Amino acid sequence: MEIVVNGDPRGVAPGSTVASLLRELSLPATRVAVERNREIVRKSEYDAVALSTGDRIEIVTFVGGG
Amino acid sequence: MADTLTLGGRTFRSRLLVGTGKYPDYPTMVRALEASGAEIVTVAVRRVNLDRAKESLLDHVDPKRYTLLPNTAGCYTEEDAVRTCLLAREAGMADMVKLEVIGDEKTLFPDTPALLSAAKRLVKEGFVVLPYTNDDSSSFPTRTTIRSWRNGWRTPGAPR
């Protein structure tokens, strides 16, 4: 199924969760925050939140700046 | 008496807050942070670049040694700034933030009403807010509000 991650379309397996998406992207859950359809997903829910077709996922992290 | 700086209940020996942007590379940044003696360093919150190598700022700045201060640089609206702070906290930061709501792209002067409104919301959410603002008396907030921000001023135009 297709979702949008940080603005780009991406195919993921049916049954994917936020946690499995982060694993697929090699992103450590401890260093990112995730929004699904503009709602923040709590870290404790990454395993439980199943992705649906058309979901818009934003993944942010810390970079130099400020 | 020790000359210390207390912000949001935390006490620091250094009054210097330094940024983590615009260094040519991470080793240079690490050396500059060490030489500065600063205990607080600002970090930006951005979309993960999915195409690029996975080297992270957090591989180089030890959050046990430095207090990391997420900032909302580049936010032009109250909503954007509040959202950025909430994301930073969810990504693992403490509750102290440097809040900017930019009103003018050229001078980076603040949109003070939006800054004030964002600060009120964030204080309610439990954040310690260090507002990036000026002393424009026409839009200056009340003393009560300033106390609730716990008084961490920065002057627009100062090096970032």
The CA distance from B46 to the nearest CA of chain A, in Å, is: 5
Token pair recorded at residue B96: 């102290």
Q: Which of B22, B54, B64, B98 is catalytic?
A: B98
What phi, psi does B93 have (nearest 5°)?
-85, 160
Give the pLDDT confidence score for residue A28 in this predicted structure: 92
Neighbours of B41 (CB within 10 A): 24
Chain A partners within 8 Å of B20 (Cβ): 63-66
Give the pLDDT confidence score for residue B51 in this predicted structure: 82
Is A54 exposed, middle or buried, given 0-12, 13-18 or 19+ CB atoms closer than 10 A?
A: exposed
DSSP state of A60: E
Tell me what percent of the residues of chain A surpass a pLDDT of 90: 97
Give the pLDDT confidence score for residue A8 in this predicted structure: 95
Token pair recorded at residue A31: 């260093």
Q: What is the sign of the dihedral through the CA atoms of B129, B120, B9 and B156?
A: positive
Test the A interface: residue of B42, B46, B50 with most A CBs within 10 Å: B50
For A20, the 3-state DSSP assignment is: helix
Give the pLDDT confidence score for residue B144 in this predicted structure: 47
Neighbours of B73 (CB within 10 A): 21
Measured at the alpha carbon of residue A43, what is the angle toward residues A28 and A8, in degrees to the nearest 5? 60
The CA distance from B1 to the nearest CA of chain A, in Å, is: 32
| Residue of chain A whose alpha carbon sits nearest to that of B47 | A60
Binning pLDDT at 50, 70 and 90, where does residue B2 land?
A: confident
Give the pLDDT confidence score for residue A63 in this predicted structure: 92
The rounded distance, in Å, linking the Cα atoms of B80 and B93 is 18
Binning pLDDT at 50, 70 and 90, where does residue B159 land?
A: very low
Give the pLDDT confidence score for residue B141 in this predicted structure: 54
The rounded distance, in Å, linking the Cα atoms of B150 and B152 is 6
Is the Cβ pair B87, A27 closer than 8 Å? no
Neighbours of A15 (CB within 10 A): 9
Give the pLDDT confidence score for residue B155 in this predicted structure: 45
Cα A3 from chain centroid (whole Å): 10
pLDDT tens digits for range B69-122: 999 999 999 999 999 999 999 998 889 999 999 999 998 889 988 998 999 999
ipTM of the complex model: 0.92
pLDDT tens digits for range B49-73: 888 766 789 899 998 999 999 999 9
Neighbours of B92 (CB within 10 A): 19
Give the pLDDT confidence score for residue B54 in this predicted structure: 67
Q: What is the pLDDT along chain A (66 residues), one digit of tens a residue?
A: 999 999 999 999 999 999 999 999 999 999 999 999 999 999 999 999 999 999 999 999 999 987
Contact assessment for residue B33 and residue B68, using Cβ atoms and an 8 Å cutoff: no
Give the pLDDT confidence score for residue A9 in this predicted structure: 97
pLDDT tens digits for range B115-152: 989 999 999 999 999 999 887 656 655 554 555 554 45
Token pair recorded at residue B120: 């009120």
